[in-house]
């Protein structure tokens, strides 16, 4: 990797690299612990010492389990951007707006390098940050923003930089993967497992970012910008997993599939991009189907590099602090990269509408009380056929304590066609409740 930006970061190797950290939660304190425990190792890796000289957090008096007495404290985190003794601003506060955004933009304007774990900030303000980084020759690195301890950014931006990737994607949120894994292994209900995830600290009190797909969407947007080109975040199609039941997981298994929350992006002809986040059925034999618990996984595919998959812990103090320090080490070595790994700035484009994309779909249709399941299966096949939706497989079953259900796998069809048929099915006397439709993603 060659040096692109030249500023205080790439000063003489004998001088220490001085960090100012905003945010002293789990990750921020983890970074300080790592630096103190691995002082000699970091010096041997970079040829210079790395020191934390200033910090900022909401509460000065909180016991964080580490000694902060030798560090300069700023009540206003934005002051780190203008602290002459700080070479690199490390933003670990989170949030796409407010102090985090102001700190990062002010630091870049001041020509300071920035390292952040803030996926929402990078995804939602990509164009502004890329311009500031380019204009002021200030590196902005964000390895920790995607998949925690997995080197996902480095893999896409550096490891396969010579290849024109055709596809990337995977399991980009550990909380949703933990919930689906526990549901599959224990048969417990979604709400019960979600509460356990919150009790264990995997999910927040408001879990919507994880289970509704927005956390994964931020990560996918960042990876898509590096692999293909920047995208308009709000054009990315996002669907959550709240309606998935343990019975859906069991039915998928009987059909040879597992259910995983995926984020996928593809390069399309004429410089177009497809990108979406949603729960999918994937073949039970596929590599991603074996990734369980709080683990994340990313797969890339290209004509030269072929398929490559990496997996590991997607969150937590240790893995995320290690990812932050991977960027700091690059800066200490004098390495800098443009935001998306390209020297030219690109305006973001909108993703292709997912409604026109073709796929097979899993349909779960709950029948009204008293409806004969065999008769319903025959009649619904006819209704679907009238809308040019062909069925590859269909059966019915009655989960314990619930109404009978039809489980269907369609042949390839557009999402437009599925969205058109769902309200038609719901309005028939045969059906009770809105049918569930899940995309089938045939991964290797």
Instruction: Name the residues annotated as catalytic.
Output: 219
In this structure, are residues 112 and 346 in contact, taking their beta carbons and an 8 Å threshold? no
Write down the H helix ranges in 110-173. Answer: 119-124, 126-135, 152-154
d(CA 267, CA 302): 10
Separation CA 131–CA 348 (nearest Å): 12
Q: Residues 6 or more apart from 203 whose CB is under 8 A from it?
A: 175, 179, 194, 197, 210, 211
In this structure, what are the phi and psi dihedrals at residue 70, rounded to the nearest 5 degrees?
-90, 5
- If 0-12 CB within 10 Å is exposed, 13-18 middle and 19+ buried, where does residue 167 land? middle
- Which tokens sit at 21? 């950290």
**Angle, in degrees to the nearest 10, between helices 190-199 and 174-186:** 130
Residues in the chain: 444
The helix, strand and coil proportions of the chain, stated in percent and rounded to the nearest 5, come to 40, 25, 40
- Residue 141 · residue 337 · CB < 8 Å: yes
């Amino acid at each position: 990797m060659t040096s692109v930006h030249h500023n205080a970061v790439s000063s003489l190797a004998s001088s220490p690299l001085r960090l100012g950290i905003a945010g002293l939660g789990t990750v921020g304190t983890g970074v300080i612990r790592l630096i103190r425990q691995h002082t000699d190792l970091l010096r041997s890796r970079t040829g210079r010492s790395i020191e934390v000289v200033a910090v900022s957090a909401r509460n000065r008096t909180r016991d964080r389990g580490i000694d902060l007495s030798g560090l300069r404290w700023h009540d206003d985190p934005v002051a780190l951007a203008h602290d002459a003794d700080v070479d690199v601003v490390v933003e670990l506060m989170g949030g796409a707006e407010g102090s985090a955004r102001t700190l990062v933009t002010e630091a870049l304007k001041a020509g300071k390098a920035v390292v952040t774990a803030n996926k929402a900030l990078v995804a939602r303000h990509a164009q502004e940050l890329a311009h500031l980084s380019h204009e002021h020759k200030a590196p902005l690195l964000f390895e920790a923003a995607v998949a925690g301890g997995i080197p996902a950014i480095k893999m896409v931006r550096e490891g396969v930089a010579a290849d024109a990737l055709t596809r990337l994607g995977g399991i980009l949120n550990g909380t949703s993967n933990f919930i689906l894994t526990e549901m599959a292994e224990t048969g417990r209900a979604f709400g019960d497992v979600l509460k356990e995830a919150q009790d264990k600290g995997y999910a927040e009190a408001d879990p919507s970012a994880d289970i509704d797909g927005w956390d994964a969407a931020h990560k996918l947007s960042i990876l898509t910008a590096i692999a293909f080109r920047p995208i308009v975040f709000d054009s990315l199609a996002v669907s959550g997993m709240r309606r998935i039941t343990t019975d859906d997981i069991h039915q998928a298994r009987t059909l040879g599939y597992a259910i995983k929350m995926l984020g996928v992006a593809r390069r399309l002809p004429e410089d177009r991009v497809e990108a979406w986040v949603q729960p999918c059925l994937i073949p039970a034999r596929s590599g991603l189907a074996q990734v369980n618990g709080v683990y994340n996984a990313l797969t890339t595919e290209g004509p030269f590099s072929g398929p490559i998959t990496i997996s590991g812990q997607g969150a937590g103090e240790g893995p995320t602090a290690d990812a932050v320090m991977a960027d700091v080490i690059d800066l200490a070595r004098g390495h800098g990269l443009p935001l998306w790994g390209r020297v030219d700035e690109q305006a973001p484009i909108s993703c292709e509408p997912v409604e026109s994309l073709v796929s097979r779909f899993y349909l779960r249709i709950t029948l009204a009380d008293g409806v004969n399941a065999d008769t319903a299966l025959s009649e619904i096949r006819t209704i679907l056929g009238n809308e040019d939706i062909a069925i590859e497989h269909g059966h019915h079953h009655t989960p314990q304590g619930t109404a009978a259900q039809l489980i269907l796998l369609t042949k390839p069809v557009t999402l437009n066609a599925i969205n058109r048929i769902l309200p038609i099915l719901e309005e028939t006397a045969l059906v009770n409740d809105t049918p569930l439709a899940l995309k089938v993603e045939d991964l290797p």
